[in-house]
Amino acid sequence: MIAEAYGPSGHEHIIREVIRDEIKSLADEVRVDALGNLIAHRKAVGATPRKKVMLAAHMDEIGVMVTHIDEKGFLRFASLGGVFANTLVGHRCRFENGIIGAFGQEKKNSSRTETQLDKMFIDIGARDGKNSPINVGDAAGFWREFTDLGDRMIAKTMDDRIGCAVLIETLRQLKKSPHEIFAVFTVQEEVGVRGATTSAFGVQPDVAIAIDVTDTGDTPESNTMAVALGKGPAIKVKDSGMLAHRGVKTALITAAQENKIPYQLEVLTGGSTDAMAMQVSREGVPAGVVSIPTRYVHTPSEMVDFDDAQNAVKLLVAFLGKPIKLD
């Protein structure tokens, strides 16, 4: 399953093969570039004016990397991406070889209200460090099973496996487009949008859309934000790393309105997406973002609404199915 597959930043080979199996019949060409991005190319249909459109959803998940193993077999670690220490104590991680570890915290001179990564460790149940099945440099992702709540879903990697699922389903439902479509499942987004940086340089798109998650303002005492679960995909206006291109934003809004697709407008004060890299590739690219509202982002229990994901697919299919006009 896409949501449960292993794939911390820089270690996306397993999730890449899962996605490749899903898309191999949905594109004219599927390839992997030098950095590890999975790129599906679909040719344009018809002789109408066409654009080269790049859609990006990142495959990697946040995680940790082992930095030291002590004589008792406890693992010290560094973060891969935006890992919050207060979400870890008592949770589990899984290494590529299947070993499961529990996150623990130093108790002496430590406070549960002031948890710090350098005061934490991973316990894999080892008796000592001499014959550890884990080595320095090994990476792990969070380990929690996917849970279907009916209208809502919870997983450790909705950021951004829900975006990958939306992109796969968009390819499946988009029967034809006047545009050349490059669906790119990117690597290393969580450590600096690196995959989008190189793939956008290679694709040289005329228009770029990132598909990623965004925060919400609909939980008790949450930060004020006009995004909620169940009210449709969010069309980004800005985040801390980019301002959406006005023409792309307007075209997405128009597609939603013309097709009676519910949508929200997103202004995110922290964080960014692959669009940040794509819009400044080469001489610049008009870029926007379709965001999936997500509660508890960068925790082991990220929650999304099923209808929001379905409506994101509808929005992208409508946007890609006709000529794109950028004001």
Cα 102 to Cα 80: distance, rounded to the nearest angstrom = 17
SS (H, E, C) 1-66: CCCCCCCECCCCHHHHHHHHHHHCCCCCEEEECCCCCEEEEECCCCCCCCCEEEEEEECCECEEEE
Q: Specify which residues 122 forms β-bridges with.
A: 75, 103
What is the Cα 75 distance to its own chain's centre?
27
Which residue among the candidates 189, 190, 266, 302 is catalytic per the annotation? 189
What is the 3-state secondary structure of 195-262?
A: HHHHHHHHHCCCEEEEEEEECCCCCCCCCCCCCCCCCCCEEEEECCCCECCHHHHHHHHHHHHHCCCC
In single-letter form, the type of residue at position 293 comes to P
- 189 included as an active-site residue: yes
Q: Burial, 319: exposed, middle or buried (Cβ in 10 Å; 0-12, 13-18, 19+)?
A: buried
CB contact at 8 A, 225 and 217: yes
- The token duo for 182 is 């490059």
Beta-strand relationship, 92-95 and 100-105: antiparallel
Question: Residue 153: enclosing H or E segment and its boundaries?
Answer: strand 152-155
DSSP state of 312: H
Residue 264's φ and ψ, nearest 5 degrees, are: -130, 160
Q: Which of helix, strand or coil describes residue 182?
A: strand
Task: Quote the CA–CA distance of 273 and 193 in Å, as a whole number.
Answer: 7
Catalytic (active-site) positions: 189
